């Protein structure tokens, strides 16, 4: 049964000319890829572009996938690189600062209004965290990937992932509190200082 095939076997089939096998890979991974792009860019339109581009890039470069890492890891890496490229190109403000350019936020069902408000706040705060810190939080805290896989995706040592995770979380919580004056008066913590280790 094709859907039960391992990703790596599907890659082999696709590389050998059975492109429909790549379609199965897309179905399997589109949700993670799209959500990664959505959280990284903060905007649905950008996430659509990034997810499309990531899969098209993966299709073009599939023969370069050697199987040293899991396909999931490789696909995430392609997606992360695509998001960085897109963020560089866009150089635009975060989601809610662009409301004049785009459609308004989708209306929330009344029962879920509070939860939706909260997730919009979290997304907005996330965009105020620098991308290098944001990405490790998305991969680890949102997508539940282990430290070593995040390290493989981002291309940094595991220790760097851990320290970025801590700094990113602190920055996110501060952004959520939205208290810039207080931040300016706080003494520097470990997240504010250069580390020697």
Partner 1 sequence: MTHPEELLAGYVDGALTEEERAEVDAHLASCRVCREEMELSTQAVAALAELPEQPVPLGVMNPVAAEIRRRTAGAAPAPWWGRLQWAAGLAAAAALVAVVAVALPRLGEQEEGAALRAEAGGATPTESAPGADAALTGAVFLEIQPEADYSAEQLEALANDAAQRTEFGAPAPSAATVADAEAETAKACLAEPGGLMESDRLVRLIRATFDGKPAYLGVYLESPGADRPPNRVVIWVVATKDCRILSFSSKPL
Q: Give the interface with partner 1 as residue ranges (CB under 8 A).
A: 19-20, 22-23, 26, 30-31, 34-35, 38-39, 44-45, 48-49, 51-52, 55-56, 59, 103, 106, 115, 118-119, 122-123, 125-126, 137, 141-142, 147, 159, 162-163, 165-170, 172-174, 176, 187-191, 193, 195-197
Q: How far is the CB of 104 from partner 1 (least distance, A)?
A: 9
Instruction: Note the residue count of the chain.
Output: 197
Smallest distance, partner 1 to C-beta of residue 160, A: 8
Smallest gap from Cβ 78 to partner 1, in A, equals: 13
**Cβ closest to partner 1, residue 3 vs residue 68:** 3
Query: Closest separation between CB of residue 67 and partner 1, Å?
Result: 21
**68 or 180: whose CB is closer to partner 1?**
180
Helix, strand, or coil here: 93? coil
Least separation in angstroms between CB 81 and partner 1: 17
Q: Which is nearer to partner 1, 113 or 115 (CB)?
A: 115
Q: Cα(94)–Cα(90) distance, rounded to whole angstroms?
A: 10
What are the CA-CA distances from residue 83 to residues 20, 35, 58, 79, 170 (Å)? 26, 12, 14, 6, 23
CA distances 107 to 96, 110, 131, Å, are 14, 9, 28
Residues 126 and 137: beta-carbon distance below 8 Å: yes
Nearest CB to partner 1, comparing residues 68 and 151: 151
Distance, in Å, from the CA atom of 146 to the CA atom of 123, rounded to the nearest integer, reads: 22
Q: What is the dihedral of CA 62, 65, 69, 74, to 10 degrees?
A: -40
Residue closer to partner 1 by CB (options 97, 105) is 105
């Amino acid at each position: 049964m094709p859907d039960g095939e391992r990703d790596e076997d599907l890659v082999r089939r696709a590389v050998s000319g059975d492109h429909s096998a790549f379609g199965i890979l897309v179905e399997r991974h589109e949700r993670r890829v799209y959500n990664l792009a959505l959280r990284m860019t903060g905007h649905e339109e950008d996430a659509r572009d990034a997810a499309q581009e990531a899969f098209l890039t993966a299709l073009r470069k599939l023969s370069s996938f050697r199987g040293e890492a899991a396909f999931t890891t490789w696909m995430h890496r392609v997606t992360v690189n695509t998001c960085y490229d897109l963020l560089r190109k866009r150089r635009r403000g975060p989601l809610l600062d662009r409301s004049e350019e785009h459609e308004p936020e989708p209306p929330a069902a009344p029962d879920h209004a509070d939860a939706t408000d909260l997730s919009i706040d979290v997304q907005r705060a996330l965009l105020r965290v620098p991308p290098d810190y944001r990405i490790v939080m998305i991969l680890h805290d949102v997508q539940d990937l282990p430290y070593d896989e995040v390290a493989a995706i981002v291309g940094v040592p595991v220790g760097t992932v851990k320290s970025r995770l801590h700094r990113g979380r602190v920055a996110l919580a501060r952004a959520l509190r939205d208290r810039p004056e207080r931040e300016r008066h706080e003494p520097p913590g470990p997240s504010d200082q250069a580390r020697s280790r």
